[in-house]
Chains A and B, each alone.
Chain A
Amino acid sequence: QSVLTQPPSVSGAPGQRVSISCTGSSSNIGSGYDVHWYKQLPGTAPKLLIYGNGNRPSGVPDRFSGSKSGTSASLAIAGLQAEDEADYYCQSYDSGLIGPVLFGGGTKVTVL
Chain B
Amino acid sequence: QVQLVQSGAEVRKPGASVKVSCKTSGYTFTRNAIHWVRQAPGQSLESLGWMHTGNGNRIYSQKFQGRVTFTRDTSASTAYMELSNLKFEDRAVYYCARANGSGSYLLDFWGQGTLVAVSP
- Where the two chains meet, the residues of A that have a C-beta atom closer than 8 Å to any C-beta of B are 2, 34, 36, 38, 45-48, 51-52, 57, 89, 91, 93, 97-106
Chain B minimum-CB-distance residue to A51: B106
Alpha-carbon distance A34/B113, docked complex (angstroms) = 25
Interface centre among B46, B106, B112 (most CB of A within 10 A): B106
Query: Which of B49, B108, B113 meets A48, CB within 8 Å?
Result: B108
Minimum CB–CB distance for A76 against chain B, Å: 20
Chain B minimum-CB-distance residue to A4: B44
Indicate if B95 sits at the interface (CB-CB under 8 A): yes
Indicate if B110 sits at the interface (CB-CB under 8 A): yes
With contact pairs A99-B47, A102-B47, A104-B44 given, residues A45 and B111 touching in the complex (Cβ less than 8 Å): yes
| Binary A-proximity of B1-45 (CB < 8 A = 1, otherwise 0) | 000000000000000000000000000000000010100000011
Chain A minimum-CB-distance residue to B63: A98
With contact pairs A45-B111, A45-B112, A45-B113 given, residues A103 and B44 touching in the complex (Cβ less than 8 Å): yes
| A36 close to B106 (CB less than 8 A) | yes
Size bracket, chain B contacts: 20 to 34
| Binary A-proximity of B94-118 (CB < 8 A = 1, otherwise 0) | 0101001000011110111100000
Indicate if B61 sits at the interface (CB-CB under 8 A): yes
- Where the two chains meet, the residues of B that have a C-beta atom closer than 8 Å to any C-beta of A are 35, 37, 44-47, 49-50, 59, 61-62, 95, 97, 100, 105-108, 110-113
Which residues of A lie under 8 Å from residue B61 when comparing CB positions? 99-101
Which residues of B lie under 8 Å from residue A99 when comparing CB positions? 47, 61-62
| B47 close to A46 (CB less than 8 A) | no
| B45 close to A89 (CB less than 8 A) | yes
Alpha-carbon distance A89/B110, docked complex (angstroms) = 15
Which residues of B lie under 8 Å from residue A103 when comparing CB positions? 37, 44-47
| B95 close to A45 (CB less than 8 A) | yes
Q: Assuming A46-B95, A100-B47, A103-B45, what are 10 further A-B pairs, CB within 8 angstroms?
A: A48-B107, A51-B100, A91-B45, A99-B61, A100-B59, A100-B61, A101-B105, A103-B47, A104-B44, A105-B44
Which residues of B lie under 8 Å from residue A38 when comparing CB positions? 45, 107
